Amino acid sequence: MDNTFTPTKKSPGIEAFITTLAGESRHTAAAERRCVAPPIGCGKPVTEFRDERSRQEYRISGLCQACQDLLFGE
Protein backbone atom coordinates (compact mmCIF):
# COMPACT_ATOMS: atom_id res chain seq x y z
CA MET A 1 0.00 0.00 0.00
CA ASP A 2 2.60 2.51 1.01
CA ASN A 3 5.92 2.37 -0.74
CA THR A 4 6.93 5.92 0.06
CA PHE A 5 8.82 4.93 3.18
CA THR A 6 11.34 2.24 2.51
CA PRO A 7 14.27 3.15 4.76
CA THR A 8 15.88 -0.27 4.61
CA LYS A 9 16.19 -0.16 0.85
CA LYS A 10 19.09 1.76 -0.56
CA SER A 11 19.67 2.56 -4.16
CA PRO A 12 23.12 1.35 -5.20
CA GLY A 13 22.87 3.46 -8.32
CA ILE A 14 22.53 6.67 -6.39
CA GLU A 15 25.24 5.67 -3.92
CA ALA A 16 27.66 5.01 -6.76
CA PHE A 17 26.73 8.29 -8.37
CA ILE A 18 27.41 10.24 -5.19
CA THR A 19 30.71 8.43 -4.65
CA THR A 20 31.81 9.22 -8.19
CA LEU A 21 30.72 12.82 -7.89
CA ALA A 22 32.51 13.25 -4.58
CA GLY A 23 35.66 11.58 -5.87
CA GLU A 24 35.92 13.70 -8.97
CA SER A 25 35.17 17.02 -7.38
CA ARG A 26 37.51 16.16 -4.52
CA HIS A 27 40.47 16.00 -6.89
CA THR A 28 39.63 19.40 -8.32
CA ALA A 29 38.82 20.77 -4.90
CA ALA A 30 42.13 19.72 -3.36
CA ALA A 31 44.11 21.13 -6.28
CA GLU A 32 42.36 24.46 -5.97
CA ARG A 33 42.20 24.39 -2.18
CA ARG A 34 38.47 24.50 -2.33
CA CYS A 35 35.68 22.69 -0.61
CA VAL A 36 34.01 20.05 -2.81
CA ALA A 37 31.26 21.33 -5.06
CA PRO A 38 27.61 21.40 -3.97
CA PRO A 39 25.48 19.51 -3.11
CA ILE A 40 28.15 17.70 -1.09
CA GLY A 41 30.19 20.68 0.00
CA CYS A 42 29.92 24.44 -0.44
CA GLY A 43 32.55 24.88 -3.18
CA LYS A 44 34.07 27.85 -1.38
CA PRO A 45 37.81 28.37 -1.03
CA VAL A 46 39.30 26.64 1.97
CA THR A 47 40.69 29.00 4.57
CA GLU A 48 41.59 27.48 7.91
CA PHE A 49 41.06 24.33 9.83
CA ARG A 50 40.50 24.14 13.54
CA ASP A 51 42.99 21.37 14.11
CA GLU A 52 44.99 18.60 12.48
CA ARG A 53 42.00 16.28 12.59
CA SER A 54 39.95 18.67 10.46
CA ARG A 55 42.85 19.07 8.07
CA GLN A 56 43.06 15.31 7.72
CA GLU A 57 39.33 15.15 7.12
CA TYR A 58 39.72 17.65 4.29
CA ARG A 59 42.27 15.36 2.64
CA ILE A 60 39.82 12.49 2.90
CA SER A 61 36.46 14.09 2.17
CA GLY A 62 37.42 17.42 0.62
CA LEU A 63 35.11 19.25 2.97
CA CYS A 64 36.02 22.62 4.45
CA GLN A 65 35.78 23.34 8.17
CA ALA A 66 32.30 24.84 7.91
CA CYS A 67 30.96 21.85 5.99
CA GLN A 68 32.61 19.43 8.37
CA ASP A 69 30.94 21.24 11.26
CA LEU A 70 27.58 20.97 9.51
CA LEU A 71 28.05 17.35 8.60
CA PHE A 72 29.39 16.19 11.93
CA GLY A 73 27.15 18.48 13.93
CA GLU A 74 29.76 20.39 15.88
**Residue 58 and residue 49 in contact, taking contact as beta carbons nearer than 8 Å:** yes
Window of 7-15, 22-30, 40-48, 50-58 that interacts with Zn ion by CB under 5 A = 40-48
Can you list the positions of beta strands (E) in the chain? none
CB of 41 to Zn ion, least distance (A): 4
Q: Of 4 and 50, which CB lies nearer to Zn ion in the complex structure?
A: 50
Question: How many Å apart are CA 20 and CA 23, to the nearest integer?
Answer: 5
Residue nearest to Zn ion (CB): 35
Q: How far apart are CA 65 and CA 70, in angstroms?
A: 9
Length of the chain measured in residues: 74
Residue with smaller CB distance to Zn ion, 22 or 42 = 42
Site for Zn ion contains 42 (CB under 5 A): yes
Residue 41 sits in the site that holds Zn ion (CB under 5 A)? yes
